[in-house]
Amino acid sequence: MSLSNVDEFQRYLFEYKFDGAEWGVEIKAASPNEALERLKAISWAKYKGEIYATVPVASARTSRTLARLRAAVGLG
């Protein structure tokens, strides 16, 4: 899996119908074409389990900024 800078990605919305209702799914990608390719790749997805919680993780930029602030006030 290749990792890219998260800041490069935009959010793209795709809509679909299922069981008489309309649904949407958000895909993060570098371009609309990449988002379409990612959508096609979803057919290869494997079930990994139910998500019970999410934990936000600071980006590298945020971490560096926080480290500088901590150092500036004598906490780091």
Domain boundaries, position 12:
1-44
In a domain, residue 50? The reply is no
In a domain, residue 53? The reply is no
In a domain, residue 21? The reply is yes
Residue 28 reports pLDDT greater than 50: yes
* The pLDDT of residue 76: 63
In a domain, residue 56? The reply is no
Tell me if 28 sits within 8 A of 5, measured CB to CB. no
pLDDT tens string 48-61: 999 999 888 777 78
In a domain, residue 51? The reply is no
Alpha-carbon separation of residue 28 from 5, 22, 71 (angstroms): 12, 20, 34
Average pLDDT of the residues of the chain: 88
* Higher local confidence (pLDDT), 14 or 73: 14
Residue 1 reports pLDDT greater than 50: no
In a domain, residue 26? The reply is yes
pLDDT tens string 39-49: 999 999 999 99
